[in-house]
C-alpha cells in the first residue's frame, strides 16, 4: 500500500479479512492501477483486504455495532441494553458468547452468573438452530448464474462450491485462498485466479469512485 498511509486496520478473523482505512486523497494510490496493489497484498497475505475511505470508516464501525446489537436482540431474545453492552465489550457473534469462559463475562459490569449462564444457554440454542438451517440450505444449494458462467469456472466446481455455501461470485470474492483450497481438485494457483476474477467488480467499482 506504500506510500499511501493507512489510518486504521480492522481485522475480522472469522472472515479472514481486513478493512484498511486511508484518506480520500490516497484511496486510488492504495488500491493501485486496476486494483494491482490490493491483489498483490491479498496474494501475499492470504487475507481479504478491503481498502475504504477513512472518513467513512467511523460510520461503518457505528453501523456494524448497530448490526451486531440487533443480531444479539434477535438471536438471544434479549433487550437492547444487554445487546448493546455485549457489542460494546467486543462480542461479535453468539458463538463467542456460547463458549467464552464465565469468568471473563463476570468482568462485565452488571452481569452476574445467573444472567451469564442464561445468555450462554440461549447462545448455544441459537447456534444449534443456525446449524440446522445451514444444513438444510446446503442440501438444496444451487450455484447462481454469475458463478456458473464465471471465467475459469466449471459446472462440477460451481456445484461443489455451492454445497459449501459459496453460491455467488460475491460469495467467492469474500473467500481466502485457504477457504477455497478445501474444495476437490483445487490448487493454490487456481484458487487465487478464481478469487481475483470474482473480485474484479470490486476493483472496477473502487476505480470509478
DSSP sequence for 69-94: HHHHHHHH---HHHHHHHHHTT--SH
Banded pLDDT at 150 (limits 50, 70, 90): very high
Domain limits for position 118: 59-134
Tell me how far apart the alpha carbons of residues 168 and 161 are, in angstroms, rounded to a whole number.
9
Question: Mean pLDDT over residues 81-101, rounded?
Answer: 94
Banded pLDDT at 138 (limits 50, 70, 90): low
Banded pLDDT at 16 (limits 50, 70, 90): confident
Banded pLDDT at 207 (limits 50, 70, 90): low
State whether residue 50 is helix, strand or coil. Answer: strand
Question: Mean pLDDT over residues 184-188, rounded?
Answer: 86
Closest CA to 116 of 128, 129, 106: 106
CATH number at residue 79: 1.10.150.20
CATH number at residue 48: 3.30.300.20
Question: Mean pLDDT over residues 78-87, rounded?
Answer: 95
Tell me how far apart the alpha carbons of residues 45 and 84 are, in angstroms, rounded to a whole number.
33
| 107 and 68 co-located in one domain | yes
Cβ-contact 208, 33 below 8 angstroms: no
| 83 and 118 co-located in one domain | yes
> What are the tens digits of pLDDT across the range 45-64?
888 888 888 877 777 777 88
| 158 and 119 co-located in one domain | no
Amino acid at each position: 500500500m506504500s506510500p499511501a498511509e493507512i489510518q486504521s486496520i480492522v481485522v475480522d478473523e472469522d472472515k479472514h479479512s481486513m478493512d484498511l482505512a486511508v484518506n480520500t486523497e490516497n484511496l486510488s494510490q492504495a488500491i493501485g492501477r486496476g486494483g494491482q496493489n490490493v491483489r498483490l497484498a491479498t496474494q501475499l497475505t492470504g487475507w481479504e483486504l478491503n481498502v475504504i475511505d477513512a472518513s467513512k470508516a467511523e460510520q461503518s464501525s457505528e453501523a456494524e455495532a448497530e448490526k451486531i446489537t440487533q443480531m444479539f436482540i434477535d438471536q438471544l431474545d434479549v433487550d437492547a441494553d444487554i445487546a448493546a453492552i455485549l457489542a460494546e465489550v467486543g462480542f461479535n457473534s453468539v458463538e463467542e458468547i456460547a463458549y467464552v469462559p464465565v469468568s471473563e463475562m463476570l468482568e462485565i459490569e452488571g452481569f452476574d452468573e445467573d444472567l451469564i449462564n442464561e445468555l450462554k444457554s440461549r447462545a448455544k440454542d441459537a447456534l444449534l438452530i443456525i446449524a440446522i438451517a445451514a444444513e438444510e440450505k446446503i442440501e438444496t444449494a444451487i450455484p447462481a448464474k454469475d458463478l456458473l458462467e464465471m471465467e475459469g469456472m466449471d459446472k462440477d466446481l460451481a456445484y461443489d462450491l455451492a454445497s459449501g455455501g459459496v453460491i455467488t461470485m460475491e460469495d467467492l470474492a469474500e473467500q481466502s485462498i485457504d477457504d477455497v483450497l478445501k474444495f476437490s481438485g483445487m490448487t493454490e494457483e487456481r484458487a487465487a485466479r478464481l478469487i481475483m476474477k470474482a473480485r474484479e467488480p470490486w476493483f472496477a467499482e473502487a476505480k470509478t469512485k
